[in-house]
């Protein structure tokens, strides 16, 4: 081959490489790296099998290994956002120790308009403490409790501001319950990214965003969650401790965020978000369970 032909070949190869890299960086589809082909392909196959959009971020805190799929895309967080609300309450209690003991009173209308109040609805006459409301919001996904805590904090913007103080620039709480669960495709209200939520969850539950007593309370409430048996927990080996918070909304939105404590190992943080295109689509617990199993199998190799 002549010198000119060799030069043309080198130019062609170089141009093609740059073009492919540019296309990949601008693609809306998640990148599938050589080392991540197996799990990325599995997530893509799972996603396409149910005609929805899946977002995942997992962090093995033992070695900071991360698994990501659409990790930087926005998803409606639904009730997983209650973790941030309760985190803000716990943070406020660090400088006001009596806050958690404060008794809040509310009306029957407050609980009924929230759409779901399995615990707060039983205490209309006597009210509930801030601590009990926080536990109800996390462990029972009680919307009535969530709204009372939001009101105490000063509204949704106060929670978004708290997220910003933690370095989370994606969490965007705009509405209260149950409106925040509308999950309309393309609506940026009440959304976050899997990557941002995983980082915030790690800071709240495992790192130094909260003082130890407050952090231990949050861990306790997450571990006592009653709504997540068919989601991330279903993909985790028996005997592992899981603390999670689920979320469910319109468009078949099915979410779960968790911290997992394997035996004799450091925790794993997992965020799995899933949403669909049709407003009346049904929640897909099994999608979360299957994605959870893929994550655990990959991240514990």
Q: Which residue numbers are catalytic?
A: 79
How many C-beta atoms lie closer than 10 Å to residue 224's C-beta?
A: 12
- Number of helices (H) and strands (E) in the chain: give both, helices first: 10, 9
DSSP class of 67: E
28-66 exposure pattern, b = at least 16 Cβ within 10 A, e = fewer? eebebeeebeebbebbbebbeebebbbbbbbbbeeeeee
Residues 6+ apart with CB under 8 A from 214: 90, 91, 93, 94
What b-and-e string marks burial along 184-219, b requiring 16 or more CB atoms within 10 Å of the CB? eeeeeebbbbbbbbbbbbbbbbbeebbeeebbebbb
All residues at 6 or more sequence positions from 28 whose CB lies less than 8 Å from its CB, including other chains: none
Q: Any idea how long the chain is?
A: 301
84 and 218 Cβ atoms separated by less than 8 Å = no
Do the beta carbons of residue 267 and residue 61 sit within 8 Å?
Answer: yes
* Phi, psi at 238, each rounded to 5°: -60, 145
Structure tokens given for 129: 């403490």
With contact defined as beta carbons under 8 Å apart, do 118 and 217 qualify? no
């Amino acid at each position: 081959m002549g010198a000119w032909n060799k030069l043309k070949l080198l130019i062609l190869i170089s141009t093609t490489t740059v073009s492919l890299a540019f296309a990949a960086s601008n693609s809306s589809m998640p990148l599938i790296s050589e080392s991540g082909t197996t799990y990325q392909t599995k997530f893509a196959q799972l996603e396409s099998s149910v005609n929805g959009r899946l977002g995942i971020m997992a962090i093995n805190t033992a070695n900071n290994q991360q698994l990501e799929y659409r990790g930087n895309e926005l998803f409606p967080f639904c009730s997983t956002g209650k973790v941030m609300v309760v985190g803000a309450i716990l943070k406020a209690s660090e400088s006001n120790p009596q806050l958690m003991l404060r008794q809040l009173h509310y009306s029957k209308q407050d609980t009924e308009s929230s759409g779901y109040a399995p615990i707060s609805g039983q205490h209309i006459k006597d009210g509930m403490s801030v601590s009990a409301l926080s536990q109800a919001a996390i462990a029972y996904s009680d919307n009535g409790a969530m709204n009372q805590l939001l009101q105490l904090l000063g509204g949704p913007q106060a929670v978004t501001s708290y997220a910003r103080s933690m370095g989370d620039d994606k969490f965007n709480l705009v509405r209260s319950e149950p409106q925040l669960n509308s999950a309309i495709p393309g609506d940026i209200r009440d959304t976050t990214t899997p990557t941002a939520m995983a980082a915030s969850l790690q800071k709240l539950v495992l790192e130094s965003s909260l003082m130890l007593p407050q952090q231990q309370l949050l861990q306790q409430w997450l571990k006592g969650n009653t709504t997540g048996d068919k989601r991330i927990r279903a993909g985790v080996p028996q005997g592992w401790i899981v603390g999670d918070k689920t979320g469910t909304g319109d468009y078949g939105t099915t979410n779960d965020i968790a911290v997992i404590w394997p035996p004799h190992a450091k925790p794993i943080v997992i965020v799995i978000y899933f949403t669909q295109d049709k407003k009346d689509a049904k929640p897909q617990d099994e999608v979360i369970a299957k994605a959870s199993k893929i994550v655990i199998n990959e991240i514990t190799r």
